[in-house]
Chains A and B, each alone.
Chain A
Amino acid sequence: MTATVEEVWAALEDLADPEIPVISLRELGILREVRTGADGLEVVITPTYSGCPAMGQIEDDVRSTLKNRGISARVVTQLAPAWTTDWMSEAGKEKLRAYGIAPPHQTPAGSSVVRFISKPAKTEAVPCPHCGSSNTLVSSHFGSTACKALYKCQDCQEPFDYFKPY
């Protein structure tokens, strides 16, 4: 069957991220585009984090979801422009918070390597997703996955993950 671009979007609308199942691939900004290429429909996805073990799973999930609906489309991985947490929808960020992961802040504009390391972003507090307190401390810049940092709330004492801005 020949599906339309809209039908492909509709089929993939609720497809969840394998690592954070409360948020969809579309809300994460991983599904970039559905287009008609020379050989038919193409679904463009972009890798989130280099070496993220979920990436292969995501591609498989997109493929099998389309196949189950009888839609034939090619999955294309596109590197540029590089994925940024700024593409995450507001609704998606809210779902992350409700799930217990502090959503990423806006990425700082044009920060060079030297400025990035010598001036850690102390100005932007990461609010605790459990109690909402801004009195939190970073425990480790790498948490349960490489894309998250581990924080601790000084008020409710709960540890939590912060999705780092990229």
Chain B
Amino acid sequence: MALLWEALEKSANADLAAIAAKSLKEVRYHLRHSRDWLVRLGDGTDESHARSQASLDHLFPYTQEFWAHSPAEAAAIAAGIGVDLNTLKADWDAIVDAALAEATLQRPAAGGYISEGKKGVHSEHLGFLLAEMQSLARAHPNGVW
């Protein structure tokens, strides 16, 4: 996200540029925070290293979704106010590779995943997530807080 905000900061659309400029200030801390933990766990104990590598192997294929454009993103690019996500890939690779090297983790191959989420097509996991997120509102109909 950080790279995307950095690019959108230069968008010709004033609203997008304002949101990007604001978000960029904050997201840098998220990136630093998550990177710190990646290094701490990856380059930690044998156990934390093994678990980090296993998580990375499991989750890395999903990163392919970063490079798929949603209809809204495609429309923004066509209108000259968006960002072609593929132009960010080289910088993203550099950030990820440097962090993984410091964390002593191996970069997995990013295969075996077809991105459909941005088209609104989700896996069965979403049903459970929605049920949990809606449980409070459903337990208290018309509740206001």
Q: Which residues of chain A have a CB within 8 Å of any CB of chain B?
A: 47, 49-50, 79-84, 107, 112-114, 116-118, 120, 140-142, 146, 149, 164, 166
**Interfacial chain A residues near B35, Cβ < 8 Å:** 117
B76 within 8 A of A: no
Contact flag A113-B21 (CB < 8 Å), given A140-B33, A141-B32 = no
Contact across chains for A50 and B23 when beta carbons are under 8 A apart: yes
Residues of the B chain whose Cβ atoms lie less than 8 Å from the Cβ of A47:
22
- A142 and B33 contact, Cβ closer than 8 Å, known pairs A79-B15, A113-B2, A113-B28: yes
In the complex, residue of chain A having the shortest beta-carbon distance to the beta carbon of B5? A113
Chain B residue with Cβ nearest A140: B33
* Given A113-B2, A118-B98, A142 contacting B21 (CB threshold 8 A): no
Q: Which of A113, A140, A166 has the most CB of B within 10 A?
A: A113
Task: Evaluate whether A113 and B3 lie within 8 angstroms (CB atoms) in the complex, with A79-B18, A141-B36, A142-B33 already known.
Answer: yes
**Nearest-CB distance from B102 to chain A (Å)?**
10
Does B6 count as interface, using CB distance less than 8 angstroms? yes
Q: Does B91 contact A (CB under 8 A)?
A: yes
Please measure, in the bound complex, the distance between the C-alpha atom of A160 and the C-alpha atom of B71, giving whole angstroms: 45
| Further contacts, 16 of them, CB under 8 A, given A47-B22, A142-B29 | A49-B26, A50-B22, A50-B26, A79-B18, A80-B14, A82-B18, A83-B22, A113-B95, A114-B91, A116-B28, A116-B32, A117-B28, A117-B31, A141-B32, A146-B26, A149-B29
- Determine how close the nearest CB of chain B comes to the CB of A51; give it in whole angstroms: 9
* B contact residues vs A (CB 8 Å cutoff): 2-3, 6, 14-15, 17-19, 21-26, 28-29, 31-33, 35-36, 91, 94-95, 98
* A-B residue pairs, 4 tightest by C-beta: A80-B18, A82-B22, A79-B18, A141-B33
- Closest Cβ of chain B: how far from A124's Cβ, in Å? 15
Q: How far is the CB of A57 from chain B (nearest CB, A)?
A: 13
Q: Looking at the complex, which one of B3, B25, B29, B95 makes contact with A84 (CB distance below 8 Å)? A: B25
**Are A112 and B95 in contact, with the CB atoms below 8 A?**
no
Across the two chains, which residue of chain B brings its CB closest to A115? B28
Inside 8 A of B95's CB, which chain A residues have their CB? 113-114, 117
Chain A residues with CB below 8 A from B32, complex form: 116-117, 120, 141
> How distant is the Cα of A79 from the Cα of B16 in the complex, in angstroms?
10
Choose one: B2, B22, B29, B98; the contact of A141 (CB below 8 Å).
B29
**Which interface residue of B2, B25, B91 has the most chain A CB atoms within 10 A?**
B25
Shortest distance from the beta carbon of A118 to any chain B beta carbon, whole Å: 7
B94 interface neighbour in A83, A114, A149, Cβ under 8 Å: A114
Q: How far is the CA of A63 from the CA of B15 in the complex (A)?
A: 25
Please tell me if the beta carbons of A79 and B33 are within 8 angstroms of each other in the complex. no
